[in-house]
Amino acid sequence: REKDANNYFVTQPIFYVNSVPHIGHFYTMVLADTIKRYADLLGKNTKMSGGTDEHGLKIQQAAERANEDTLGFCTRYSDKFRELMAASNASVTDFIRTSDPRHHRAVTHFWELLVERGHIYKGRHEGWYAVSDEAFYTESQIEERVDPATGRRGRFAVESGQPVEWVSEENYKFRLSAFKGRLIEWIETNPDVIYPDIRRNEVLGWLNSGFDDLSVSRPRSRLKWGVPVPNDADHTIYVWVDALVNYATVDSYPWAASSGGKPTFFPPDIQVVGKDIVRFHAVYWPALLMAAGLPLPKRILAHAHWTMGAQKMSKSKGNVVDPFEAIATYGLDPIRYFMIRNGGISDDGDYSSEEVLVRYKKDLIGQLANLASRCLSKSLCVHLDGFRGIAEQQLDHHIDARDVSLRAVLLELPNRVKERFDVGEFGRGLGIVFDALAVANKYVADNEPWMIVKQTDTASKARLQTVLFYSLEAVRLAAIMLQPVMPLKTELLLNHLSVSKSERGWKYARF
C-alpha cells in the first residue's frame, strides 16, 4: 500500500562517527533542510531524517585506539553531529543512530526478509577491502602507487584513494547480480531518479560493466561492533546494509499490522547524498529494496564536494573548515546562503572567506537589504496597506512605460525560480532571484522616489506609491522564495513588510 501523496520525505545520509563534523557535512544538512523547507512552502506534509552511522570495523578500531567504550565513543561524536544540526537550523524531524535498539530490530527484520525471499546465501569472499570505506573493491577498482603521506608503495581504491588490504573470509552474500537488469530498467525508465546526469551516467556505467554478488556480513571474530546475523552468532551484518535500512527505521519499519502494514512517509521522495556514496544509494540500496519487495526512492540527489583553493580539503593540508566557527563568524543565515549559492551539485564548490564576504556584501547587503531599507524609509511615507489597490490597478492598459521592464521580470520570476528549485539546483534559483533584485534596485535608482516624495500634487503622490509598490513587491517575492535558505532573516523581513504568516507559502510568491 502506498503512502499519502502529500507526505514528503527528505533524507540526509547518516554521518560516520569517526571524526567531528566538517563543512561538507554542514552543506549536506543545509541542502537537505532547504529541500524540506521548500516542500513545506509548497504545502507538503514533510519529514526529514538525519543521524549517525556507528557500526563497522573502522569505528571499532578507532574506539580501541582511543581506549574508550565503543558506544561511549560513538555517543561523543554523534552528539557533535546533533549539535551541528541544531546550530545549522536543520529541521530534522527524526534523528537516528544505528546503535538504537529500534534500528537493530529493523535491520534484523530486513535481513530475515531477504533470507526468506531467497536472496542471501553463504559463500567465500576474497577481495581488496578498504577499512576506511567499509567496502570491497575489484581488481579494476584499485591502483598500485606511492602514498604521498608516507612515501610507501601500496594499493589504493581508485574511487576514494583509501588503502586496501587483501581479505579472504567466509561470509554471507546478497544476490546483487540478479538485479542488474531491473536496476538498469529502473534508471532508464525514470531519467530523473538520479541527479545530476553525470552521477546517473556513472551508475549506468557501473551497472553495464557488470559486478559480482555483494558480501553482506563479516566474521564476528573480526567485527563485533554491529548487528549480529540472525541465527548465526559467528557473523555480523555488513555496515552498509545495516546503515541503509535507517531510512526505513525512521518511518517505524517493520510496519505493524495495526497500521495496515502501510508506511507513513516511506519511500523517500528525495535522498540527499554526497557523490562519494552514490554507488551505495543508487545500486546497493535499490537492489536490496527490490529484493525485499519494498518501494524504491523517488529521487537521489548526489551533490558535489567542497574544495579550498581548488584543492581537496584534508586535515594534513590544514584547509579543513570548522562549520561551528563559520556560523559564529558570518552568522547562520548568511553562511547558509553562501553554501547553497556557491555549493556544487555537478561540480565541486570552492570555499574561501573572501567569497563568503563577497556574497554577503554584494547580494545580501548590496541587493536585498539595500532595496528593502531604501523603500521602507520613513521619509518615503510608504503605505503598505494601499498596495492591494495599486495591484488591482496594474492592468495591462494602465501600465506606465517606466514600470514595464521590472513588471515583466517579476511576472516570470516565480516560474523561473521554481524550475530550478524543483530539480535541486537551488544555487541557480538564488541567482535568478538576485538578478531580479538587481533590476529592482536599478528601477528605484531610475525613478528616484526620494525626489518624488518632495512633490505635493496628487499625481506625484500616486506615482510614489506605485514605485514603492513595484520595488517592495520585488522584496516580498524574494523574501518568500528565500525562506528555505534563510528562514530566520526572511521571517524578520516578511514581518517588516506586514505579510501575514498565512500568506508566506509558495502560492503567494506571484506578482
Between the alpha carbon of residue 67 and those of residues 70, 73, 134, 173, 294, the distances in Å are 9, 9, 21, 33, 41
In contact, 329 and 351? CB cutoff 8 Å: no
Q: pLDDT for 196-232, tens place per residue?
A: 999 999 999 999 988 889 999 999 998 999 999 999 9
**pLDDT above 70 coverage of the chain, percent:** 96
Q: How confident is the model at residue 388 (pLDDT cuts 50, 70, 90)?
A: low
Structure confidence at residue 258 as a pLDDT band (50, 70, 90): low
**Residue 500 pLDDT > 70, yes or no?**
yes
Q: What is the mean pLDDT of residues 112-131?
A: 91
Q: How far apart are CA 415 and CA 103, in angstroms?
A: 41
3-state DSSP call for residue 267?
coil
- Please report the pLDDT score of residue 57 as a whole number: 87
- Main-chain phi, psi angles of 300, to 5 degrees: -120, 120
pLDDT one-digit tens code per residue, 147-195: 887 888 999 998 888 899 998 889 999 999 999 999 999 999 999 999 9
Kindly list the distances between the CA atom of residue 402 and the CA atoms of 35, 383, 446, 470, in Å, as whole numbers in the listed order.
Answer: 37, 21, 9, 11
Rounded Cα gap, residues 238 and 182, in angstroms: 23
pLDDT of residue 1: 61
Q: What is the CA radius of gyration of the chain?
A: 26
- What's the average model confidence in pLDDT over 462-478? 93
Single-letter amino acid code for the residue at 292: A
Query: For residues 289 and 182, what is the distance between their CA atoms, to the nearest angstrom?
Result: 12
Residue pair 181/175 in contact by the 8 Å Cβ criterion:
no
What SS3 state is found at 302? strand
Q: Which helix (H) or strand (E) holds 142?
A: strand 142-146
With a CB cutoff of 8 Å and minimum separation 6, the contacts of 69 are 63
Residue 36 confidence (pLDDT): 98
Q: What separation in angstroms does the CA of 169 have from each of 265, 413, 460? A: 38, 59, 85
How much of the chain, in percent, has pLDDT values that exceed 90?
77
Residues 6+ away with beta carbon under 8 Å from 466: 390, 400, 403
Contacts of 469 (CB under 8 A, 6+ apart): 387, 390, 391
Instruction: Provide mean pLDDT across the span 468-480.
Output: 95
Per DSSP bridges, beta strands 135-137 and 153-157 are unpaired
**462 vs 419, higher pLDDT:** 419
pLDDT score of 133? 81
Sheet of strand 217-219: strand arrangement: 217-219, 232-237, 228-229
Residue 255 — pLDDT band, cuts 50, 70, 90? confident
Q: Residue 386: its pLDDT value, please? A: 60
For the cut 80, the answer to whether the pLDDT of residue 298 exceeds it is yes
User: pLDDT at residue 136 above 90?
Assistant: no
